[in-house]
Amino acid sequence: MHWTRGETLGAGGFGFVSIAKTHQEGGGDPNIPAVVAVKSAIVSQSKSLQKEKEVLKKLEGCPCILRCFGDKFTTENGQNLYNIILEYAPGGCLADLIGKGLPEHVVSHHTKSIITALIHIHKHGYVHCDVKPHNVLLVGQDSKLADFGSCKRIGGVEDDDDEQQQGFRGTVLYAAPESISRQEYTAASDVWALGCTVLHMLTGKAPWKFGKDAAATDVLMKIGCSDEIPAIPKVSEEAKDFLRKCFVKDPTARWKAESLLDHPFLKMADRHRRHHHHHHLSSALHSLLPQCFHVTKIHAY
């Protein structure tokens, strides 16, 4: 597969992401789309990107995880780059969609996708470590978990990259208390971050509120060491209960992703879809009634 790099979509500590057009010889692979995203880093600084590609290869097959189509080394403008070719998300990230908050049935839909991805990740022995709206990308009506640069194996012997990455991973405002206080990352840590992501979707605001003059130590102490949990807003009882299941300080008592998949809050999207389908069907039938029961005058001669 060959591709031509287009405009830059964004940049970060890992490198930068570009949109690209693919050129496949001899008909090519029908599973590879005409437009992709290329995530790139200078080769000497590409260890986390190479690790991300390896993890995505192991996690293939889940429709709720951004697809990876391979990798390639290139030389561009005198720089040696390592690139991974990813599924392009034309809808951007979930954080861009949220605004002042989303309807609960929409939040329910995206939450189900994130949980489906987390179950798949945890079953394969990994923790994402950075679940947040910015790392959930929109492909059509679907949302897909992305950015596995902070991903960590559950237990086992750490690899060289993990040894270099000792300490905090992820984003503080979405991080579980144990991740901040003990640098502990388990499947339960992803569930706390999921709760923070759901809260952000519902309210349009970050899960924790701090004044502009708050010191970093105050933020870390409040999230990592206090008895407080993020404030639960005025939402449905199902949404409140879902958040409470995520925001349990003791990670061993926190609900697992598999259990959350059956939570009533996640049924909300399905109910909304069925209701609208029924409504549209009723409207369509109603519009046909005059035609179905049209009475013509019979003239007697």
Domain ranges for the chain, please list them: 2-87, 95-271
Query: What pLDDT score was predicted for residue 136?
Result: 97
Q: Which residues are catalytic?
A: 130
285 pLDDT higher than 80: no
Across residues 53-74, what is the average pLDDT? Answer: 95
Q: Give me Rg for the CA atoms of the chain.
A: 23
Distance (Å, whole) CA 23 – CA 4: 8
| Amino acid found at 276 | H
Place of tokens 């991740």: 179
Q: pLDDT confidence of 273, banded at 50, 70, 90? A: low
* pLDDT range class, residue 290, cuts 50, 70, 90: low
Which DSSP letter does residue 155 get? S
So what's the pLDDT on residue 278? 45
CATH architecture entry for 95-271: Orthogonal Bundle (1.10)
pLDDT at position 157 over 60: no
Residue 11 has pLDDT above 50, yes or no: yes
Determine the pLDDT at residue 114.
98
Relative orientation angle of helices 187-203 and 104-123, to the nearest 10 degrees: 170
Average confidence (pLDDT) over 43-64: 95
- CB burial readout 26-36, b (16+ within 10 A) else e: eeeeeebeeeb
| pLDDT above 50 for 46 | yes
C-beta of residue 126 within 8 angstroms of C-beta of residue 143 = no
pLDDT digits (tens, 9 = 90+) for 171-210: 999 999 999 999 999 999 999 999 999 999 999 999 999 8
What per-residue confidence (pLDDT) applies to 288? 56
Domains 2-87 and 95-271 share a fold: no
Q: Which pLDDT score is estimated for 175?
A: 96
Residue 140: CB atoms within 10 A of its CB come to 8
Q: What is the mean pLDDT of residues 65-90?
A: 95
Residues 6+ apart with CB under 8 A from 234: none
Tell the CATH superfamily of the 2-87 domain.
Phosphorylase Kinase; domain 1 (3.30.200.20)
Percent residues over pLDDT 70 in the chain: 85
Global confidence as pTM? 0.85
Mean pLDDT of the chain: 87
One-letter amino acid at 60 equals E
Distance CA 220, CA 197 (A): 18
Helical H segments across 99-215, by residue range? 104-123, 160-164, 177-182, 187-203
- 217 exposed, middle or buried (CB, 10 Å; 0-12, 13-18, 19+)? exposed
DSSP string, 237-262: HHHHHHHHHH--SSTTTSPPHHHHTT
Q: What's the pLDDT score for residue 167? A: 73
One-letter amino acid of 20: A
d(CA 146, CA 66): 5
- Please say if the pLDDT value at position 105 is more than 70: yes
pLDDT at 178: 95
Measure the CA angle with vertex 108, ends 189 and 264; round to 5°: 85
pLDDT recorded at residue 30 = 74
User: Cα–Cα distance between 225 and 205 in angstroms, integer?
Assistant: 22
* Cβ proximity of 198 and 243 under 8 Å: yes
Residue 150 has pLDDT above 70, yes or no: yes
pLDDT value of residue 88: 96
